[in-house]
Structure 1
Amino acid sequence: MILLGVATLERFEVVNLLLAAILLFSSYKLLTGSDEENDFSENYIVNTCKRFIPVTPDYDGQKFFTTIDGVRMATPLLLTLAVIELSDIAFAVDSIPAVFGVTRDPFIVFSSNLFAILGLRSLYTLISSSMAELEYLQPAVAAILGFIGAKMVLDFFGLHVPTEVSLGIVATTLGAGVSLSLLRPHDDEQND
């Protein structure tokens, strides 16, 4: 898919605007999104899977499939796996255009996304407990996505931002988001 994307971008430069729109929309959604809990029973992936595969309402140990009244049915565990695996595709929807916004070198695009996807789950388990403390990380990521989207639009119209400047802005924004989050006093410290 990445090689196809590189070939498409080389032939049809206007595709950059579509990728930029995806990044700008992702940035907007991150900035305006709410922190409320999601109801995954209404999730598009879950509902699509349920439409094609009969699913039991209950788990059957660690099984993906079970048989009820002679009918083979999926368990909610299979739906959980589908949501997790398809979230990698959702991750690629804004990460691949973001990398294309920085470079067109297929090796860098492929390797950076490969390492991101491979490390995504392990990094999540590492920082999931700390995410509540990193209050400004999400706005920083939103600003980065917005910047790269805007950079792609500017690049389409002939105004090129050098890669070094782009990487500097990304690193500074990400560092500022983490630093501000760590420096901000927390509610439990203020009560002491």
Structure 2
Amino acid sequence: MDASPLVWTLTVVGIVALLAFDYLFHVRKAHAPTLKEAAIWSSIYVGIAILFGLGVLVIGGSTPGSEYFAGYITEKALSVDNLFVFLIIMTSFRVPREDQQKVLLFGITFSLIARTGFIFLGAALINTFAWVFYFFGLILLITAGNMLKPESSESKSADNFIVRVARKVFHTSPEYDGDKLFTIHDGRRALTPMLLVMVAIGGTDLLFALDSIPAIFGLTQDVYIVFTATAFSLLGLRQLYFLLDGLLDRLIYLSFGLAAILAFIGVKLILHALHENNLPFVNGGEPVPVIEISTGVSLTVIIGVLVVTVLASLFSPAGRAQAAIANARRYATDYLDLGYTEDHTERIRVYTALREEEESIHKLGPKYRQAARDEADLTDLLHRAHVEHDKSVQRAAREG
């Protein structure tokens, strides 16, 4: 799809306008979005992405349209996986829920800028060196293998290398000062945890781009489609985070599905590299006659794997148990952390959610109920949350 400079300009202006709208009307005033708000705006952004794809399909034809949707779905799935890590980082930094939107929007903006740079760099390499397809394919196969391993990388924690360097080099404050990035601590100007969590998310997202960009280049080499599919997959990610809150831990098989998709695209890239081969030590520098995977097949495989993965996770007893236990732990921790939020409504929401997750645990089969009871720290955590709630009710009664 040969996009003119005018089309590029209008597209970039439209994307920047959507980001500016989010900054001005959604995160300017700190608040925790309701489920209804998150659902409405997430639907709007997905709708915009679908309408854009239909426009590409009508104007550009079936091939660019299929490539756009394959790229968008793949990038959206990878971005959901990224939300797990963002959740871990924000929990580690104890980011107040009403300020989490701003942190997420910063991460999305940084991600869009960084990935745009990676996209143009990748396109330049592909146009100059055909062997880059081998390299991208190998990256995806390695990434797919790593997704099947238990997470242990420090880059996916709040205390990653970038944050440790920032804390050593700069004076930092241990407490938040609203949503300010800088404050005065011990009589000196200091970085707040709000800035540090943004640094952590930004640094982590650079690593995400290393598998995200090769993945979409495995589906299309059209730079305009790569850029728009990536951009629209990131827009609305903030709302999706709050919409999926409480369900992220439920998707226990998502990593397996994403590993399968990345491995599939990696094989597709290597097959394409063999078809375009010019490396002298491979088949004498001549193209290798291999089967190439069409965009239609790619789109079918990607959608099929994601549907099976999500359904298997949602209907799996192990998934329900893991989600209930993890959410109960998180809600109890949040409720006990009196500095987590100053919003009384949010504390009521957290305690109500905690009670719902406890009820879910009680409804689990004997094996999973026993698994929850075997976690002594969880039992103690839940007990302390209920004691704190009883004290809170008694204080409110006395004050009333």
Same-fold status (TM-score > 0.5): yes
- Is the aligned partner of 1:111 residue 2:228? yes
Within the candidate set 231, 244, 247, 1:127 is matched to 244
Q: Which residue of 2 aligns with 1:145?
A: 262
Separation (CA, whole Å) in 2 of partners of 1:22 and 1:50: 32
Q: Which residue of 2 aligns with 1:97?
A: 214
Q: State the Cα deviation string for residues 148-187 of structure 1 (Å, max 9, x = none).
A: 1121112111232111111111111111101212232344
Contact 2:140 2:211 survives alignment (8 Å): yes
- Is the aligned partner of 1:4 residue 2:91? no
Contact 1:151 1:161 survives alignment (8 Å): yes
Could you tell me how far 1:106 is from its partner in structure 2?
0.9
Task: Report the 3-state secondary structure (helix = DSSP H, G, I; strand = E; otherwise coil) of the residue aligned with 1:50.
Answer: helix
C-alpha spacing 1:47/1:36, structure 2 compared with 1 (3 Å) = closer
Separation (CA, whole Å) in 2 of partners of 1:182 and 1:69: 49
Structure with more of its chain in helix, by fraction:
2
Structure of greater relative contact order (alpha carbons < 8 Å, 6+ residues apart): 1
Determine which structure has more spread, i.e. the larger CA radius of gyration. Answer: 2
Q: Which residue of 2 aligns with 1:85?
A: 202
Contact 1:65 1:72 survives alignment (8 Å): yes
Task: Report the 3-state secondary structure (helix = DSSP H, G, I; strand = E; otherwise coil) of the residue aligned with 1:3.
Answer: helix
Task: Report the 3-state secondary structure (helix = DSSP H, G, I; strand = E; otherwise coil) of the residue aligned with 2:236.
Answer: helix
Could you tell me how far 1:69 is from its partner in structure 2?
4.4
Could you tell me how far 1:133 is from its partner in structure 2?
2.1
Q: Which residue of 1 aligns with 2:18?
A: none
Could you tell me how far 1:15 is from its partner in structure 2?
1.7
Separation (CA, whole Å) in 1 of partners of 2:244 and 2:145: 24
Q: Which residue of 2 aligns with 1:179?
A: 311
Could you tell me how far 1:140 is from its partner in structure 2?
0.3
Separation (CA, whole Å) in 2 of partners of 1:69 and 1:179: 53
Could you tell me how far 1:90 is from its partner in structure 2?
3.1
Q: State the Cα deviation string for residues 71-124 of structure 1 (Å, max 9, x = none).
A: 321111110122233444333221111110000111110001111222333222
Separation (CA, whole Å) in 1 of partners of 2:222 and 2:301: 20
Within the candidate set 13, 22, 40, 2:158 is matched to 40
C-alpha spacing 1:13/1:98, structure 2 compared with 1 (3 Å) = same
C-alpha spacing 1:34/1:91, structure 2 compared with 1 (3 Å) = closer
1:7-86 residue pairs with structure 2 within 5 A?
Answer: 7-34=124-151, 40-41=158-159, 43-86=160-203
Q: Percent identity of the aligned residues?
A: 38
Task: Report the 3-state secondary structure (helix = DSSP H, G, I; strand = E; otherwise coil) of the residue aligned with 1:128.
Answer: coil
Contact 1:102 1:148 survives alignment (8 Å): yes
Separation (CA, whole Å) in 2 of partners of 1:35 and 1:45: 17
Report the more deviating stretch, 12-21 or 165-174: 12-21
Q: State the Cα deviation string for residues 124-152 of structure 1 (Å, max 9, x = none).
A: 22223112222212210111111111211
Report the more deviating stretch, 45-54 or 95-104: 45-54
Q: State the Cα deviation string for residues 2-55 of structure 1 (Å, max 9, x = none).
A: 2332122011111222222322222122111248997523x1221232244322
Could you tell me how far 1:60 is from its partner in structure 2?
3.1
- Is the aligned partner of 1:164 residue 2:287? no
Query: Which AA in structure 2 matches 1:163?
Result: T
Q: Which residue of 2 aligns with 1:190?
A: 365
Work out the number of aligned pairs and report it: 191
Task: Report the 3-state secondary structure (helix = DSSP H, G, I; strand = E; otherwise coil) of the residue aligned with 1:32.
Answer: coil
Query: Which AA in structure 1 matches 2:306?
Result: L
C-alpha spacing 1:45/1:121, structure 2 compared with 1 (3 Å) = farther
Query: Which AA in structure 2 matches 1:15?
Result: V
Report the more deviating stretch, 54-63 or 11-20: 54-63
Contact 1:88 1:117 survives alignment (8 Å): no
Structure 2 length-normalised TM: 0.44
